[in-house]
Amino acid sequence: MLAGMFLSKFSQDGLQHLGFTSFGEAYNAIGYALGGRPASIKNYMQEFDPLFPNNRKGWHKREVRAHCRDAFERFGHLSLFDFSRLLSPLLLPPVMPLPEGMDELAAIDESNFENDSFSRRLITGAAAEGFFESSFPKLSEFNEHALTNVTRYGCGFDFRLQPVDSRPFLAVEVKGIAGAGGDVMMTSKEHQVAEYLQDRYYLCVVRNFNERPVLSLFQNPLVQGLEFTRRERQQISETWHARVPA
């Protein structure tokens, strides 16, 4: 509901702020990121449209539902910046310590772990992860595996797949691409874990959020199926200093 209100109020500015190129892409990405249906985001946007001065009529022929009216009165006044801050924790949960059974990854260096921007992470992370999670029961490669979402643990992949027998777990890292094809990026942490786990590591690429998402799986992606090149990036941060007199 909040995501639909955000798109209704800020329209193209909201799309640009989140990094989307179309409403269709936003519906898909936000819907899967929140574990819901893309159509629900569109429906809520249309419900709020009569309450904001945009060029869409929305569902102007019916009364706004009470819970939507309450949400509008509570959050409808927020600025673009404050509203995006309200949505961010819903889409991007905090990082947690490693769960039990994954101690073998504890020694892998985390110093180069990268935090993408809110909008980029939304598309390439949470939305693609939600699509993979909803598609998991249909993937024959992972029959008789139990799925656990470990995104919040910052362990170098998004899902742990535990076999029903005593075999070691499998790891799946999920990436998203707005169009039918494009570049994917692995962080230093993800690359190190992929090197360590080898055939136990899968890269799942969810493509075509602009229209209808589809996924492709790559087992041991550093060795087969894809060709990665290393890029170094230097980050510049600004700090403020003051001297406290003795």
- The two tokens of residue 78 are 């927020």
Same domain, 131 and 208: yes
Global pTM value: 0.67
Asked whether residue 225 is assigned to any structural domain, the reply reads: no
State the number of CA atoms in the 13 A half-sphere of 183 facing the CB: 7
Q: Residue 117: what pLDDT? A: 45
- The two tokens of residue 21 are 């190129």
Q: Decide if 154 contacts 95 (C-beta within 8 A).
A: yes
CATH number, domain of 132, equals: 3.40.1350
Q: What is the C-alpha separation between 187 and 74, in angstroms, rounded?
A: 39
Q: Residue 93: what pLDDT? A: 58
Q: What is the C-alpha separation between 150 and 100, in angstroms, rounded?
A: 11
Q: Residue 21: what pLDDT? A: 84
Asked whether residue 32 is assigned to any structural domain, the reply reads: yes
Same domain, 109 and 86: no
Q: What is the C-alpha separation between 77 and 233, in angstroms, rounded?
A: 39
Same domain, 113 and 206: yes
- Residue span of the structural domain in which 72 resides: 2-91
Same domain, 37 and 59: yes
Angle in degrees, 0-180, between the axes of helices 2-18 and 38-48, rounded to the nearest 10:
100
- From 91, 116, 151, the end of a domain falls on 91
Same domain, 55 and 21: yes
Angle in degrees, 0-180, between the axes of helices 23-33 and 2-18, rounded to the nearest 10:
120
Same domain, 60 and 168: no
Long-range contacts of 27-30 (CB under 8 A, 24+ apart): 28/127, 28/209, 28/210, 28/213, 29/122, 29/123, 29/127, 29/176, 29/209, 30/3, 30/91, 30/122, 30/127
* Per-position pLDDT tens, the chain of length 246: 999 999 999 999 998 888 888 899 899 988 988 888 899 999 999 999 999 988 888 877 788 899 999 999 999 999 998 998 888 777 665 555 666 666 566 555 544 333 344 555 565 577 888 899 999 999 998 999 999 998 878 889 999 999 988 899 999 999 988 888 888 888 889 999 999 999 999 999 998 888 889 999 999 999 988 888 888 777 666 767 555 755
3-state secondary structure 44-112: HHHHHHHHCCCCCCCCCCCCCCHHHHHHHHHHCCCCHHHHHHHHHHHHCCCCCCCCCCCHHHCCCCCCC
